[in-house]
Structure 1
Amino acid sequence: MRTGRSGAGRLGVTLTAALAPAAWGTTYLVTTQLLPEHRPMLAAVLRSLPAGLILLAIGRKLPRGRWWGRAAVLGMLNIGLFMPLIFIGAYRLPGGVASTIGAIQPLLVAFLSIPVLSLRPTRQALLAGLVGVAGVALMVLKSGARLDGPGVAAMVGGIALMAMGTVLARRWGRPEGVSMLDLTSWQLVIGGLFLVPVAAFTEGAPPALTGANLLGFAYLGLFGTALAYVLWFRGIDRLGAGPASFLGLINPVVATTGGLLVLDQTLTAWQLLGLLLALGALVAGQPRAPRRAVQAPQEAPAPQPVPVEV
């Protein structure tokens, strides 16, 4: 059966948007293997600000009018406040606990969409969200994992902020004549500029960077941030906030797969079940393509008798 043009276009947007959480799933591996230790704020700055400046230099457009305020709000929600809270949670919590908390984002987006977008989540979306959390928990959560109060609060706060940023990005869209690259650059620059004094105050002067450090920052900045965020916001714009948020379940799947391939980790039967549940929830969270109504072929009208004069 052939897929209509709209279905094929939606699939293409979904696949490209999925590259964003897939890239974010490699962040832990790159951070532990290539970046300097105990420098989360430095990592956040060098990940966001250079990427934003590069995109801004390419697009060469600045916000106008009310979009200065909107760009500031989105930049703080998605970058400036989100990244520090996520790093605090990542440093204070085991990876499994952090990933499980991160998996609640589709549910948060679903509930925030009610007042902000006037959209009520379907039962399928809510069930898929719960299954996604359970799948990620089975995949990455280990028995005896410790729960740190401030770490949990920071992680939940960060995920909630990005969920709100996702919903508002869908509500506001983008100004006419502005590309997704431009909109992304505004958020990265605003969030990155906010993080500069935060990093200086909490971590002091940056250390001397090695070649491996520079390689890691280049990867995270160009692929894991500049390209990833452009594709992510494009996915929100084309797919909707809810379906796009379910793509975030790819993050722990890629992180687990990376550990298997690079760090020689093993996968238990429970983890395999969790991986399958997470992928199933991701698919279930995408709306079905509308079926085109097939019109029955119209029959030719019956020939009318022609009157014959006698």
Structure 2
Amino acid sequence: MNKGVFFIIGAAMLWGTTGTTQAFAPMGASPLTVGTMRLLIGGFGLLIVAIVGRSFTGGKFNPVHVIAGAVLVAIYQIAFFSAVNLTGVAVGTIVAIGSGPAFAGVLGKVVLKEQLDVKWYIATFLAVVGCTLLVLSGESEVSVNPLGILYALISGFGYAAYTMIVKVMLEKARGNAVIALLFFGGAIIMLPALFVYDIAWIFTEKGIFSMAYLGLFATTLSYILFAKGLKLITVAKTTTLSLAEPLTAAVLGIIVLGETLNIMVALGMLCIFTGIVVLSVERQKLSADAK
């Protein structure tokens, strides 16, 4: 198995802890301010790691790629929060998460000339179905807002396009440096949110702990793993494997938050897990001597 698969799944599992961590955040912590603080702390952490590790040495950075990547980081965060606000958690999450792998597959094939095999189609279908079951499992009513759907699609496209830009930049620069520039840039773009919303909660004990974890572990560490993995596997495969995030979130929700394990949740988890296994396991090629 390509070790890049392990790096991406590891990163996705760390991302999957964000929901549980936010559940323990203080009252008044809005998703947008949480997202901004996560990017700011995580981006600064990535910057320190890159500087200490001399990751910027010898790297070539195209200013267009850096700016576009930072903007996309901010866009897919802001668009997701806007989608959830307008059309609800269920539809917003399904469309954003479900469209990401599809956009990544198209971008990877058209722009980077990556090949999409049958396993990718099967795994992506299973993972998206699984995400849909997980999100709908707790929803008695589902509302659809056209503008909310558009924001969710923008979020999915933004994540896929950001992943593609990182893949391109990794050809001429080290992963830690690339991710540090894009995330710190994205944090700067989102910084005005901290002056619009109440941020007093950040300075409480729970606020400091939750933000430190989200920034340093769910962002800095996770995206170090993400960069290592993306260096070794395709954009399409990376984005589909990233759907280990909602699987992790579901498991933690049941174990830590005491959420109910019903049939839809169980089937959703099984679908995502099966999709990841299908995409992860590679057929072993037998040499002539081994026949």
Q: Taking structure 1 as the reference length, what is the TM-score of the superposition?
A: 0.82
Q: 1:43 aligns with which of 34, 37, 58?
A: 34
| Cα distance change on mapping 1:118 and 1:157 into 2, 3 Å | same
Aligned equivalent of 2:256? 262
Aligned equivalent of 1:207? 200
Please state if 1:228 is matched with 2:222.
Answer: yes
How many residue pairs get matched?
283
Please state if 1:243 is matched with 2:243.
Answer: no
Native 8 Å contact 1:139 1:275 kept in 2: yes
3-state SS of 1:238 partner: coil
Native 8 Å contact 1:103 1:248 kept in 2: no
Separation in 2, partners of 1:114, 1:125: 12
1:143 CA displacement: 4.2
3-state SS of 1:282 partner: helix
- If asked which structure has higher relative contact order (CA below 8 Å, sep 6+), I would say 2
Q: Percent identity?
A: 20
Aligned equivalent of 1:28? 19
Native 8 Å contact 2:133 2:264 kept in 1: yes
Which structure 2 residues correspond to residues 1-310 of structure 1 after superposition, within 5 A?
7=1, 10=2, 12-37=3-28, 39-60=30-51, 61=56, 66-77=61-72, 79-101=73-95, 102-141=97-136, 142-175=139-172, 178-200=173-195, 202-203=196-197, 206-208=199-201, 209-286=203-280, 288-289=282-283, 291-295=285-289
1:36 CA displacement: 4.5
Q: Please tell me whether Structure 1 or Structure 2 has the larger radius of gyration of its CA atoms.
A: 1
Native 8 Å contact 1:40 1:87 kept in 2: yes
| Cα distance change on mapping 1:65 and 1:59 into 2, 3 Å | closer
1:93 CA displacement: 4.2
Unaligned runs of 5+ in 2: none
Aligned equivalent of 1:303? none
| Cα distance change on mapping 1:75 and 1:221 into 2, 3 Å | same
| Per-residue CA distance 1:215-261 (angstroms, 9 max, x = gap) | 00000000011111111122111122122112122111111112211
Unaligned runs of 5+ in 1: 1-6, 298-310
| Cα distance change on mapping 1:69 and 1:160 into 2, 3 Å | same
1:106 CA displacement: 1.6
Letter of the aligned partner of 2:220 in structure 1? Answer: A
| Cα distance change on mapping 1:127 and 1:58 into 2, 3 Å | closer
Letter of the aligned partner of 1:45 in structure 2? Answer: T
Q: Taking structure 2 as the reference length, what is the TM-score of the superposition?
A: 0.87
Native 8 Å contact 1:72 1:190 kept in 2: yes
| Cα distance change on mapping 1:42 and 1:140 into 2, 3 Å | closer
Native 8 Å contact 1:249 1:279 kept in 2: no
